[in-house]
């Protein structure tokens, strides 16, 4: 039996705003952006370039309850872990793109890591595993 994690849904305020951040600032690729008229929403999928099969589904909040979780999907803990093959390259590129790092780079037993915020406030690790 083979299983993989296909998508992780992240609740966003606006599709185009989120695409602008993930594609325009983080350098992800836009995999799909399909309008679903029966639900009046879009199926928007992005993923890091060169990544395996896991991608982000950008899911626009459609109720006030869902809106409460934009930017706080994990209660303030690091939510997603973006692995890189070149920490220095990506850290420098993200700084140049205006990404806010809330924890400076450090060397840990498992690799080099720094924590950044996405456009909504979710925390991410940028990590190059040892």
pLDDT digits (tens, 9 = 90+) for 70-93: 999 999 999 999 999 999 999 999
CB 113 within 8 A of CB 125: yes
SS3 assignment, position 90 = helix
Give the long-range contacts of residues 61-66, CB within 8 A, separation 24 or more.
61/11, 61/12, 61/13, 66/11
Domain architecture of the chain: domains with CATH: 1-62 (3.10.180.10), 74-130 (3.30.720.110)
Residue located via tokens 């706080």: 72
Dihedral sign from CA coordinates of 85, 98, 46, 125: positive
Residues 108, 21: Cα–Cα separation, whole Å? 28
Mean pLDDT of 103-115: 97
Percentage above 70 pLDDT, the chain: 99
Instruction: Tell me the two tokens of residue 23.
Output: 């594609």
CB 121 within 8 A of CB 71: yes
Q: What is the pTM of this model?
A: 0.93
């Amino acid at each position: 039996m083979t299983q993989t994690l296909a998508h992780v849904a992240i609740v966003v305020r606006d599709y185009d705003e989120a695409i602008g951040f993930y594609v325009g600032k983080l350098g992800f690729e836009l995999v799909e952006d399909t309008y679903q008229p029966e639900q009046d929403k879009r199926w928007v999928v992005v993923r890091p370039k060169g990544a395996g099969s896991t991608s982000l589904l950008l899911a626009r909040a459609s109720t006030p309850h869902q809106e409460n979780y934009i930017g706080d999907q994990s209660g303030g803990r690091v939510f997603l872990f973006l692995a890189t093959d070149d920490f220095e390259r990506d850290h420098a590129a993200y700084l140049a793109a205006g990404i806010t790092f809330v924890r400076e780079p450090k060397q840990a037993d498992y690799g080099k890591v720094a924590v950044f915020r996405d456009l909504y406030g979710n925390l991410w690790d940028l990590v190059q595993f040892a």
